[in-house]
Amino acid sequence: MRKKFEAGDKMKIRWPWQKKHATLNESALENLLAATLQPVEPRADFVKDLRTQLVGPEERSFLGLPRRSLQNGVLVAGAAFSVLLLLATSVRVVVSVLGAVGLLHQFNRGMKEQAAPSPKVAI
C-alpha cells in the first residue's frame, strides 16, 4: 500500500524517457551499470608519492635520464670507442709490418749490391 500525495511531499513528473524503465530488462540494466561504474584514474601525485614511499624514488642521473639508461649509454659508447681503437691499432700494425718488410727487402738488396763484383774499368 502506498499513501497518497500530501502537501509537503515532493512531486516529480515522469518524463517520456523515464518510462522506458517500466520495462527495464537485464541488458538495459547492464548498460546502465556499465555507464555508472566507470573506471577512475587515481591522482598522479598520489600514485607517484606512494611509489616513492614504497620503493624509493626512481634513480635519476644528473642529466635527468634514468641512471640505468645512462649506464647503458656509456657502455655502448665505450664499446664503440674500443672497436675504433682496435681498428686503428690493426691498421697501424699492418703498416708497421709492411714497413718492416720493405726495410728488410731494401736491406737485402743493398747487401746483394755490395757483394756483386764491381765492373772492371779499362785503363
Partner 1 sequence: MAGLLSVTLPSKGNMLHNLKDEEVLVLAAQGDQEAFGVLYDRYIGRIYNYIYYRTSNQHDAEDLTARVFFRAMKHIESYEDRGVPFSAWLYRIAHNLVANWHRDNSRRQVVPLEDGYRQAGESIHPEAALVQLEEQDNLLNLITGLPEDRQQLLILKFVERLSNAEIGEIMGRTEGAVKSLYHRTLTQLRDEFMFQLDEDADGTVPEQE
Candidates 52-60, 88-96, 97-105, 109-117; binding stretch for partner 1 (CB under 8 A): 52-60
Q: Does 40 sit near partner 1 (CB under 8 A)?
A: yes
Q: Which 3-state string (H, E, C) describes 84-97?
A: HHHHHHHHHHHHHH
Which of 29, 97, 100, 111 touches partner 1 (CB under 8 A)? 29
Q: Are 19 and 25 in contact (CB under 8 A)?
A: no
Residue 53 interacting with partner 1 (CB under 8 A)? yes
User: Using CB under 8 A, which residues numbered 65 to 84 contact partner 1?
Assistant: 66, 68-69, 72-73, 75-77, 79-80, 83
Bridge partners of 60? 66
Contact criterion met (CB below 8 Å) for 44 and 52: no
Cell triple for residue 48?
607517484
**Residue 39 carries which DSSP code?**
-
Q: Binding segment for partner 1 among 5-13, 88-96, 97-105, 113-121 (CB under 8 A)? A: 5-13
